[in-house]
A and B are shown apart, each in its own frame.
Chain A
Amino acid sequence: MAVVDLARTSRRELNRALHDLPADTNETLWRVENPAGQHALAAGLNAPVTVEIAGHAGYYCGGMNQRATIVVEGNAGVGVAENMMSGKVHVRGDASQSAGATAHGGLLVIDGNASARCGISMKGVDIVVKGSIGPMSAFMAQSGKLVVLGDAGDALGNSIYEARLYVRGAVKSLGADCIEKELRDEHRAELRGLLDAAGIGDEVSVDQFRRYGSARTLYNFHVDNAAAY
């Protein structure tokens, strides 16, 4: 196991070492000590390695991730796993705003709560939040799935395209063009798969969730609305 102490090594050196790893590296487990909320930790990785961050991370941790597994043992700041392409980011604490923003793929698991704009403009990522999410989450979400075991704040899924949202708790309000939809068997299967992937057992039943998605009324230009432009 490679151990990098950020009290002694710069974050830039850490990221450079991680970026230089070949795809077939044998150094597959990294541990980062004393992160102290520094920004851009383990951002831009492109190798199948695991990076454990032993504390709180700052902004954009695990951003643009491909193939790597990144575990934040504390809280993560703004934009954790933003623009992730593949791999996994697991936050054991809470996540700040814009978790998983614009991410195309991979799995983001947050054990605690995520604050505002979780999954904003998500483009294919799967996000599982074991706590609650803040207001304006899944804003303009285009593709992918967002699973929330707790509650959702105001304006969930505002201007949503084709992402699927599963919420177990209360939704404070739905945003424009976001509606509740029927939870069919195909969705139950999909949801079960996501819960399994996040390490959540049968104690959480898929039937406790409600599904939300796009009403698809904002997709096309309507001449009746011309005066509004």
Chain B
Amino acid sequence: MCGIVGLFLKSPALEPQLGAMLADMLEVMTGRGPDSAGFAVYGAGDPGRLKLTLRGGDLTMIAQALGDVASAEVRDTHMVLSVPRQDEERVRAWLAANRPDVVVTGAGQRIELYKEVGLPAQVARRFGLDSMSGTHGIGHTRMATESAVTTDGAHPFSTGQDQCLVHNGSLSNHRSLRRMLEPQGIRFATDNDSEVAAGYLTWKMREGASLAQALEASLDDLDGFFTFVVGTESGFAVLRDPISCKPAVMAETDDYVAFGSEYRALAGLPGIEGARVFEPEPARVYAWERH
């Protein structure tokens, strides 16, 4: 069991509240996943700069060492490093050489990605989710069934710039998919099956597919149980496996599209009383794009 939440804002007026709304949704899903939690928020971004979310100890030392190129914001065990695009390789090389212990959890123009072991409310509080603003965000509460309770095993997973995925379910052909994807240059940081699903979508989109097309293709290539919620720089999408093994409910208003594993997660959203509440159909891609 796991809990998934997602929020895609149509109304800019709600953007300052995105984090607070997402934090409440995440906390309600504690019963579905008390082991660990994570979330990705698509906030402000500059086309000329890249945001790298890093996880590890003594992060201020990195900020100081890279101070000539990067600006940094530390949040508990994570730090968002903003670097000019042209310095990306240099910064990554420096990290690999000097701080191989540090994990890059996400990278992109706008994505920030945080995950930790612990109760969802504590995780959200440690990172200050409730004060974050953004256009869309995705969160996950984990109840580990297939692998250990570690930060590495927590979602979301990001395998491409400004892309992330959360998953409720389990994939049975992730080993063979991984063997297919690695020679294509898709890199994986963990042994987790959900990361392979993220990598699959990254590969499809790199080959020219839209987010919706990539998910459509995954119905043929992924074997197992899944409810996915996926974010890109401008997009937000939902897909359930063909027998809808895992729960999902959505709400749409003029102001937002919201996803929850259960309706409870959506119950506190503004204007939920008037929302169109529906259950996404199995094997059907639901996708929204910002214009």
On chain A, the residues within 8 Å of B247 by CB distance are: 77-78, 96-97
Select B277's contact among A58, A94, A134, beta carbons within 8 Å: A94
Known: A116-B244, A134-B244. A36 touches B267 (CB 8 A): yes
* Interface contact A37-B264, CB-CB below 8 Å: yes
* Interface contact A116-B262, CB-CB below 8 Å: no
* Interface contact A115-B244, CB-CB below 8 Å: yes
A135 lies within 8 A of chain B by Cβ: yes
Q: In terms of DSSP, what is the predominant structure of the interface of chain B?
A: loop
B244–chain A nearest beta-carbon distance, Å: 5
Select A94's contact among B262, B267, B278, B281, beta carbons within 8 Å: B278
Known: A56-B277, A96-B249, A135-B282. A116 touches B264 (CB 8 A): no
Q: In terms of DSSP, what is the predominant structure of the interface of chain A?
A: loop
CA–CA, A116 and B283, complex, Å: 12
A102 lies within 8 A of chain B by Cβ: no
B263 lies within 8 A of chain A by Cβ: yes
Known: A96-B247, A115-B244, A116-B244. A134 touches B263 (CB 8 A): no
B40–chain A nearest beta-carbon distance, Å: 24
Select A77's contact among B244, B262, B281, beta carbons within 8 Å: B262
B148 lies within 8 A of chain A by Cβ: no
B266 lies within 8 A of chain A by Cβ: yes
On chain A, the residues within 8 Å of B267 by CB distance are: 36-37, 56
B254–chain A nearest beta-carbon distance, Å: 20
On chain A, the residues within 8 Å of B249 by CB distance are: 77, 96
Interface size on B, residues (CB 8 A): 15
Interface residue ranges of B227-286 to A (CB < 8 Å)? 243-244, 247, 249, 262-264, 266-268, 277-279, 281-282
B192–chain A nearest beta-carbon distance, Å: 26
B190–chain A nearest beta-carbon distance, Å: 30
* Interface contact A97-B277, CB-CB below 8 Å: no
Known: A78-B247, A96-B247, A97-B244. A134 touches B281 (CB 8 A): yes
CA–CA, A136 and B283, complex, Å: 14
CA–CA, A56 and B281, complex, Å: 19
On chain A, the residues within 8 Å of B277 by CB distance are: 56, 74-75, 93-94
Q: A36-B268, A59-B262, A94-B278 are in contact. List 12 more A-B contacts (CB 8 A).
A: A37-B262, A37-B263, A37-B264, A39-B264, A58-B262, A75-B277, A77-B249, A97-B244, A115-B279, A116-B282, A135-B282, A136-B243
9 interchain pairs, CB-CB under 8 A: A36-B268, A37-B267, A56-B263, A58-B262, A77-B263, A94-B277, A115-B279, A116-B243, A135-B282
